[in-house]
Amino acid sequence: MFRFILKRLLQTIPVLWAVATLTFFMIRMVPGGPFDDEKVVIPEVKASLQDYYGLDKPLFKQYTDYMVNLLQGDLGSSFKYPNRSVNELIAQAFPVSLELGVYSMCVALCLGLAAGITASLKPNTMLDYVPSSVAMIGICLPTFVMGPILVLVFALKLSWFNASGWYFPSDKILPSLTLGGYYAAYVTRLTRGGMLEIMNQDFIRTARAKGASESRVILRHSLRGGLLPVVSFLGPAAAGLIAGSFVIETIFNIPGLGSHFVTSAFNRDYTMVLGVVLFYALLIITLNLIVDVLQVFMNPRLRFEES
């Protein structure tokens, strides 16, 4: 396991370098600059700002300077918030995005696992058709459609929740349902398919022939193998729940890292865009590594080299 983790960590280095390089040059190919559109700046002030941030240097020199600072863990200063570094902004905003991601993951797993297991135990019945149909509708409805619908119904019409904000516990319900409900649909489909495949295996029939109760068959024998597709999906899902909260944070006005990224993209805040992209890239790689390790522990037939 140590060799497997070390190998994956070494593979992370060229991946992060490629992400940093592509993002660095792509963001600078976008028309406009950090000091062009926000307000009128006299040429002397603009030249002073470009000299302060090193934007008057050749592009390759800017790239090498950024990579040297990156190796030291310094993501630079934000152009939008000149008195604060990108490291500080990420440290302040990411806990909000992480909290939203955790709540959404709980919603996705609770709803998805319950619906998927119920559908697999009663195939080709109403207990199968209804969850499967709702899951298909959830897959077809993106979060930027579901979010406004929930706000319209539960915030504006029924007045049960606030339409935006992240100040009270009730403010976290609609965003978590919007983001978690989308992934709950995938968890439902994966759980149903995995459980149906396991329930038809020979060792399940053997367990029933030995007199094992249905609850023991499901909890001790079926779930471990039936949930393997869900565990494989958890890595991309967790990354999507945390990194894909840009739309949700914008719709519900949540002060998370996603809203900083959207604002920095509009303001051509090069360092903030680069910092957020690299942070999320490292987070996704870490989550996928954790999922690979969990898969081996849940399925002893796999080895770390194969995973």
On whether residue 150 sits in a domain, the answer given is yes
On whether residue 305 sits in a domain, the answer given is no
* Domains contained in the chain, number: 1
On whether residue 200 sits in a domain, the answer given is yes
CATH number at residue 206: 1.10.3720.10
On whether residue 148 sits in a domain, the answer given is yes
Determine the structural domain holding residue 218 and report its residue range: 89-267
On whether residue 248 sits in a domain, the answer given is yes
Neighbours of 160 (CB within 10 A): 11
On whether residue 47 sits in a domain, the answer given is no
Structure tokens at 108: 């996705």
Find tokens 């992209």 and name the residue: 277
Rounded to whole angstroms, the Cα distance separating 257 from 250 reads 10
User: What pTM was estimated for this model as a whole?
Assistant: 0.75
Give phi and psi for 85, each to the nearest 5: -90, 160
On whether residue 198 sits in a domain, the answer given is yes
Q: For the range 109-112, what are the long-range contacts, defined as Cβ-Cβ under 8 Å and sequence gap of 24 or more? A: 109/184, 109/187, 110/184, 111/180, 111/181, 111/184, 111/187, 111/188, 112/183, 112/184, 112/185, 112/186, 112/187, 112/188, 112/190, 112/191, 112/230
pLDDT in tens, the chain (307 residues): 677 778 777 888 888 889 889 988 888 887 776 666 555 567 777 777 777 777 778 888 888 888 888 888 888 888 777 778 888 888 888 888 888 888 988 988 899 888 888 888 888 888 888 888 888 888 888 888 888 888 889 988 888 888 888 888 888 889 988 888 888 888 888 888 888 887 777 777 777 777 777 677 777 767 777 777 887 787 777 777 776 677 888 888 888 887 778 778 877 888 888 888 888 888 888 877 777 777 777 665 665 554 4
105 with 237: CB under 8 angstroms?
A: yes
On whether residue 188 sits in a domain, the answer given is yes
